[in-house]
Structures are given as structure tokens and as C-alpha cells.
Homo-oligomer: A and B are copies of this chain.
Amino acid sequence: MPQRMLFGPGPSDVAPSVLEAMARPVVGHLDPAFVGLLDEIGSMLRTVFRTANPVTFAVSGTGSAGMEMALVNLLEPGDRAVIGVAGVFGERLAEIARRCGAQADTVSVEWGRAVDPQQIADALASGGPAKLVAIVHAETSTGVRQPVEEIARIAHEAGALVVVDAVTSLAGIEVDVDRWGIDVCYSGTQKCLSVPPGLGPITFSPRAMDAIGARTTPVHSWYLDVGLITKYWGAERVYHHTAPISMLYALHEGLRLVLDEGLEQRWDRHETLGAELHARLTAMGFELLAAEGFRLPQLTTAALPGGADEKGLRGRLLDEHGIEVGGGLGAFAGRAWRIGLMGESCLPAKLDRLTSAIGSVLGSA
């Protein structure tokens, strides 16, 4: 495999010590040494999610499995879900909710904008009680930060549970599960945690677990049934499926690095370098597509100057500089890039390499 610098929407660069952890000898998933490591992962995830939730672990699948796990456990056929849709990942939430047999009422906004909390309040005020409100915190398709804290407050006032997708936000910008009142929050390993893709950190509040306990129908999915999985991650250690040992080694080391740096220091690093990237892109003639005031530092959508050929230049960045950026999706396809500055990719020297390479391919276009 070639050596790349990863500035796409994920995966991000992985620290050498995390790669080394993946190569450790495999032990059994019920080995006393391994279950101790599971406990430490649970504890570190609680710190990173800022929660005291006992039910905090990593799904044996990617962040998308985390999304499905959140919804498939909470929603029963006929339940109503109000879902904020501001891009691809909000649409995915609605699609999964429908497959759970729920009525998915979407609150949509134009690409590049954030959902207005008042729209959520309006949706909750009409159309019958909602079991939950779901929203993507950092919408990876648009680069927009959504007002999760206000939406959570409004949802709780209406008696709904709150599901938040923190795939691209966790460990990059503030995520505060308990203070914000999030009931289920899930993430992926390959964004700001800078661990290879393959696991979905997730946390369920006691209120969410009570709602799941009150279900009158079985959870559609056996693989993602949180009631079964917590018997393995909890004190009972009941076999459910064979845990992905090596990926969990990597997550353990990745979380250690995050906590070693400090969460707030890590947020600051993303904030500072993201702002610098925005300034440099603007100076080079890019147009930032996320609404001002809602721009994510770790994921930037930017239209290329002068209608430049995004695909061709993106290919040149990869081939000539070993640098990956992502192409635009949906409304931004064909004219914009998605540039990630996440975790190990979000370092001053790497940012310099990135913007210098962009300048070089633009200059000779």
C-alpha cells in the first residue's frame, strides 16, 4: 500500500503506536487480560463522551453500524421519529428509522445550513408524540455543525429521547453527552479518534435503556441488540459474538493518546487549525460552502476557484503528492472538495503540506 496523507472525510492518519497495537498477538475474547482491556476502553469512552452511562462500549462494526444500533434498539414499528436532515447522514438516519418500521418525519434544510431548533420544536408540536429526535452533530457531507444542545433541550421538553450522531465530531469538537442530555450517542473510530475504521463507539443513557426495556416487540437485529451485547461488555461476560480483538487493541491505544493530549486541548487544536485552513482556502479563491458561524473546523466543504476540474485536481493531489481529499457529495458534487483535518491529520506541518500541494496543483491547472 502506498503511504498517503489523509485529508478526506475519513479515515484520518493513524498514529504509529496505534498501528503497532494492531499487530499485537491476538488473545481470546474471554481471556482475563482482554476483558480488563474492555473495561479500560469503556472507562476511557465515558471520559471522551463526557458521560457516566454504564452502557458505553464499541459496536463491532463501523460508525454506520452505530447509527443502526441506536435506532433499531429504540424504535418499534409505528413509533414516530423526528429527524433533522441537513445532508447525506441525516438522510441515512431517516432511511434507517423507516426500515425499523417507524414513521420518520424529517425536518430538512438546504445543504450547507444547520437545522433550526425551532423547526424541530414545530415538528414536535404537531403530528403526535415522538419517541425520539435524531440529528447528526457534524454533518460530514456539508461541513456544518448542528445545534445539538438546543435541539436536545427542545426534544426533552416534548418528552422525546435524543439520538446524536457524533461520528465526525467526537474528540474533534465539544461533545458533552450528559450535560447536553443526549440519550444515545455514537461515533466512528476513523475520524477525530484517528483509529482505523471498523468500530463504532456508542453510549446509552439509563433513560434510553429503560425505553428499550419497555419494548413490546423484539429488536429486529440480533447482532446489534444492546440488551445482549451489554451482557458481554458488562460484568457477566456472556458470549454474544467474538469481539474484534485487534481493532479493540487499536481503539484502546487511540483513546489513550486522546486522553494523554487532553480533550479540551484536542478541541482547541482542531479549532485553531481549522480556522487557519479556512483562511488559506479563501485566500486561494475557494468558496466555503457551510454557513458562517456553523463551520466545522475538522471537515470543510469548499468549492474550487473558477470552476476548476475537481476530480482531475483531486487525482493529481493523490498521484503527485500522496494527499487524499474527498469529493463533494449531493448538492456539492462535481464542484467542491471535502477536506478533513481530523486527529493525527490535524497538525501544523501537515496543514502546510496540504495547502502547499493544493496551491501547486491549482497553479499548474
Give me the interface of A with B, judged by CB distance under 8 Å: 1-4, 6, 8, 10-11, 13-14, 19-20, 22-29, 31-34, 37, 60-65, 67-68, 72, 92, 95-96, 98-100, 188, 190, 196-198, 218-224, 240-247, 249-250, 318, 324
Contacts and interface: CB of A to CB of B under 8 A. Distances in A.
A266 B63 CA distance: 36
Contact of A34 (B1, B22, B221): B1
Contact of A99 (B188, B198, B219): B219
A63 B28 CA distance: 16
Interface of chain A, main secondary structure = loop
B63 A241 contact: yes
A72 to B, nearest CB: 8
A61 B14 CA distance: 21
A197 B6 contact: no
27 contacts: A2-B33, A4-B27, A8-B28, A10-B242, A11-B28, A11-B29, A11-B242, A19-B23, A26-B190, A26-B196, A26-B197, A29-B197, A61-B223, A62-B242, A63-B241, A64-B241, A65-B241, A68-B221, A92-B222, A95-B222, A99-B222, A188-B242, A196-B245, A197-B245, A198-B198, A221-B221, A244-B247
A279 to B, nearest CB: 26
Given A242-B11, A245-B11, A222 B33 contact: no
B63 A33 contact: no
A249 B246 CA distance: 13
B33 A1 contact: yes
B221 A324 contact: no
A8 B25 CA distance: 15
Nearest to A22: B22
A241 B189 CA distance: 13
A229 B8 CA distance: 21
A4 B26 CA distance: 8
* Max chain B C-beta neighbours (<10 A), residue from A1, A25, A223: A223
A100 B101 CA distance: 12
